Every structure is written in structure tokens, then in C-alpha cells.
Structure 1
């Protein structure tokens, strides 16, 4: 039995949205009939009500085919309010204001989880705007870089604790913990600590986006190692030489296969690369 997960990211509803690719994505979801669709953030471009409404409509159409799990991206956070929150302004009167539009239209839960037949996905919110955990000396990265907070790790541990011991443990975050080949940047401020925590929890796979560049990596943080699936973008915000793409994860008792589906103008999304990894046969402990 195979558990299939479609991993998409960086839809960017707004000016960068590419309707032809979005429509083709919907067709791919209907054709592949995944057990779940995992959306690793940046549903909007400018975090506006209208963009969130359009994104919510698209997610509703996906839910007619399969369950959806989603986390926010840095474009889904009201940055200026994130600064005010970090400085302690408006905290008493308007807690969580920076996520209000996301919670109104997409999901009230910022750290969701979803249990499937052979896998459990735990989402961790890494998009906090300009906050203490993601401060950086690189001015261009202010408000863009993210971090994995302790609360998110605790919720992920609880999701794994409730799941079947033999299920593949999957973390979904928005920011890329691996340096982008073209951008040359990590998306997380606390990459090493986050990967160590994931390994300690017995995580087999990390789903992420943010870098607008598809990539599959195997990180040897433990004897088993950790696979990282970075999905590309469906929008027009492409890196030079890259095309829109999404990833498909297929999990069995013994293997995990990840295929990248790349956009071709006349053909839609087609498989372009496949990576296969052996899974550990040892069940996870609580």
C-alpha cells in the first residue's frame, strides 16, 4: 500500500499568480488523487484580504479531492504589525494581530497536524515577521528569514506521540533549512538546532518551500538521515533557469520516493526527477 502526498508551496495569490499553472495544478491533484496535499506557505503576495479570499477558495476546491494541511509563509504575515508585537505594542489589545487574516481565511491553527495511513505530518509555523528569534545582520533578510520556535517543536512531538509508531514522521515548515543552490541562503535562523531537534524526534522527512527552487536533499544528521523536500513555486516569481514545480511523496513500509513535477507550457506538469530512499523498519518509540 502506498501513501501519496502532494507537496506544493509558494502559490503567491496576487500579481505573481500564474492562472494557467494554477489550473494545471488543480488538474494534477485530481489525476494523482493523493492521500493529502501539503502546502508549505506563502499563499499570498501582499497578505491582503482579497488574496487570502482567493487562496481560501483554491484550498476549498482541493479539499473536495483530498485533505489539506497548510502552514503560513513570510508573505502571509503582516510585517509591520510583527515589529509592533515584538516591541510590545498593541499586545494587550490585539494579540496575534499579525496572523489575523491568515487565521480568518485559511486556518486558526498555525501548527497543524494530519495523520494518514502510513504517515503523520506535523506543521510548524516558522513565519514570525521581524522577531527576536529571526533577527539577522543581513538587512535584506529582515522579515524574510524564519525560525523554528520551541512551541512548534512541542506540538510536533505531541502529534507524533499520538500517531501509529510505524508511521513516517514528517515535519512541514515554510523556510528552507538547506542553503539554496541559486540564492545561497538558508531560510531559517536556527537551522542546526532545528535539524537536531527533528532528528531527535525521529523525523524522516521535512517539507519546505520559500526558496522558489525545487530540491531534494539527504542530510546525515543521524544514522538513518533526514530527507528534505523543497518544493518550487507555482507563481511567476521564478529563479533564473527554474520552472514552476511541485513534489510528490510516495511512502511504503520500506521506501520513500519523491518525484518533482515540472511545468511544461504545452503539456502541464510532468515528472522530471525521482529520488528514492530506504526507510528504517524500526518503529518509533513514544
Structure 2
């Protein structure tokens, strides 16, 4: 059995001191939002507790689907590199960027430089070219990291997935299928219509859907919405491919969004007979501690199944408003 942990939307705090020059951009709106809202919800030891708990589960690999920082200042990006180094070695942690990591023009290039050991594939030439998508093979699992991150205008948090990246992603997925691997695709923005507000949507989601429709995958992971969600895309033979989101790893309890969580996926089987179980762990709704939130099986012997909570789950499964219709 291979165990894959999934974290997202780290939003490391607190914010460092910013110069007037740094604030003379889109950052001023994000700075105000941090001071008014996120400072209260995303500051403290919540993230530290969650990461320590995740490590105690001994996952074989960790996927981080973007938004490590808030305003993508130089100090934040360097701080995120130090946080990654503290969490684990680059071959144990796979990272993709989010819209906050590309908050202003030039920020994403700095993030590439600082975080590149965590965002490079097994093929080093592609990594040195800062080339998405990348491919990492860990045990029976192929991890394919894509990038939807781009700098946008104030009050927008859109991402993009263009034709060129779609073609490269399809090629990697096809190669991984030939090798008999369980294929996991990482993307920050949910590649689903209506999953995010219009101003925060993924532009080019039709290219992503076509890739899955033509070549297939076994699992898609995303962040961005700070919600616990599951959607489905259709693969080449009509099979359903789960698309799973996770709440922010830094979200404290008591907010309108679900508190800090991570997903732990258990992968078993082989080509055509994969089984996939999602176990969600994080802060209790009252913030009193970390516990199992839910357990659900998504694939059984290669077939998507109704992911209603199993009767033998180790914790009660609350009805969450963030759960999407199937």
C-alpha cells in the first residue's frame, strides 16, 4: 500500500514588513485582506500542529497544491523555502505553485528559484528549464505536477491551463499508463466549471477535461477554494476520475471555511484494478484537537464507487456544507 498525503493553501504567516515599493501594486489589496480577515484565521500554531500530525501518519509522499505564501514578497518566498526544508526532503515532497505564489509579475520566477528542488521532475533537464508539467515516480505512483499560477489584476485570482501544457500533460499521462502506474495530477485551481467564483476560476479548464477524457488519470488533486470537495471527470472509457480538494492547512476553527485539514490517500492494487481510499484528518470543528474527519473509498478494483462514508470509518462523519453534489 502506498500512502499519499495532500496539503494545500499553506498561506504562511505572519506577513513580514513590506516596503512602500512592494505595496505599490496589487499587494496593497492583499495586505488589507490579510489585516482584516486572514490574520485572525491563519496565524498561530495550527499549521505546525497539522504538519506534525501528518508526519506521524508516515505517508510515503506529500503533495502540496500551491499557495504557500500570501503576497509573494521576497521574504515570504524565502520563508516558504525554509518551511519546505523543515517539512521534508525534496524527494519526499512535491509542490506546485498557486495564484498567491504568483501574486505580482516576477514573483513566480523567484518561487521557481527558491523552491525548484520541490518542483522538479525526475528528468532534470525539464526541471532546469522550469518546465511544467513535471513527472515524479514514487513506488507504483506517478505524480504529475502542473501549474495554473499566473499574476492577475487586483480582485482577480484566476489561473490558466493552456494548450501547450495540456499536450505535455497528456504525454506524461500516457507514458505513465504504459508503465502501469497509478497517475495523480496536481493542479492548484479546480478544473471544474462552477467550483470557484468567476473571478477565481480556471481559464482553460476545457483543455484539462479533454486531457482526462482522452488519456485518463486515477486521481486529480487541487486546492484554491479552501473547501473539502469531490468532483468527477470522465476518462477515455467513460470511467469516473475523482477530483479532490482540501481545506487550507492553516485555517483555524470558527471560520466560515472548514478548519485545517489534510487528505491521506491509500493506494493499492495494480493497472485496471486500483483501489483508492481517502482518509481526511484535521482540526475538530471546535478546534479542540486533531482527529479523523471522514473516510471514503473512491476506487475499488479500478471502478469508481459511490464515495459515501463507510460504516466502519473511525470517526463520525459530519454533514459539511462544502460537500458537493455527486
> TM-score, normalising length from structure 2?
0.69
Aligned counterpart for 2:164 among listed residues 151, 155, 162: 151
Question: Cα–Cα, structure 1 residues 272 and 12, in superposed 2: closer, same or farther, change >3 Å?
Answer: same
Which stretches of structure 1, 4 residues or longer, exceed 4 Å deviation after superposition?
179-186, 279-282
CA shift, 1:161, in A, is: 4.5
- Once residues 80 and 11 of structure 2 are traced to their aligned partners in structure 1, the CA distance between those partners, rounded to angstroms, is 9
CA shift, 1:216, in A, is: 2.1
Whether 1:74 aligns to 2:74 is: no
Question: Cα–Cα, structure 1 residues 181 and 240, in superposed 2: closer, same or farther, change >3 Å?
Answer: farther
Determine helix, strand or coil for the equivalent of 2:172.
helix
Deviations 1:35-66, CA, capped at 9 Å, x for gaps = 11100000000101221122111211222497
Aligned counterpart for 2:184 among listed residues 170, 176, 193: 170
Whether 1:249 aligns to 2:258 is: no
For structure 2, the 5+ residue unaligned runs are: 15-37, 117-127, 304-326
Deviations 1:1-30, CA, capped at 9 Å, x for gaps = x11111100001133443412211221232
- Once residues 258 and 199 of structure 2 are traced to their aligned partners in structure 1, the CA distance between those partners, rounded to angstroms, is 17
- Asked whether the 8 Å contact 1:215–1:231 carries over to 2, the reply is yes
Aligned counterpart for 1:36 among listed residues 41, 61, 64: 61
Q: Which moved more, 1:27-36 or 1:13-22?
A: 13-22
Correspondence for 1:272: 293
Whether 1:118 aligns to 2:132 is: no
- Once residues 182 and 167 of structure 1 are traced to their aligned partners in structure 2, the CA distance between those partners, rounded to angstroms, is 30
Q: Which has the higher contact order (CA 8 A, sep 6+)?
A: 1
Deviations 1:175-223, CA, capped at 9 Å, x for gaps = 0123567968873122233112123122121100000111123344552
- Once residues 216 and 276 of structure 2 are traced to their aligned partners in structure 1, the CA distance between those partners, rounded to angstroms, is 15
Q: Which moved more, 1:257-266 or 1:165-174?
A: 257-266
CA shift, 1:241, in A, is: 4.8
Correspondence for 1:99: 108
Q: Which moved more, 1:39-48 or 1:192-201?
A: 192-201
Correspondence for 1:89: none
> TM-score, normalising length from structure 1?
0.78
Matched residue pairs, number?
A: 255
Correspondence for 1:92: none
Q: How does 1:2-21 map to 2 (within 5 A)?
A: 2-15=1-14, 16=38, 17-21=42-46
- Once residues 241 and 71 of structure 1 are traced to their aligned partners in structure 2, the CA distance between those partners, rounded to angstroms, is 23
Deviations 1:102-153, CA, capped at 9 Å, x for gaps = 112112635332212221011111112239xxxxxxx84x3x1112122322
For structure 1, the 5+ residue unaligned runs are: 82-96, 132-138
Correspondence for 2:231: 217
Question: Cα–Cα, structure 1 residues 73 and 182, in superposed 2: closer, same or farther, change >3 Å?
Answer: closer
Correspondence for 2:25: none
- Asked whether the 8 Å contact 2:226–2:257 carries over to 1, the reply is no
- Asked whether the 8 Å contact 1:40–1:172 carries over to 2, the reply is yes
Determine helix, strand or coil for the equivalent of 2:201.
coil
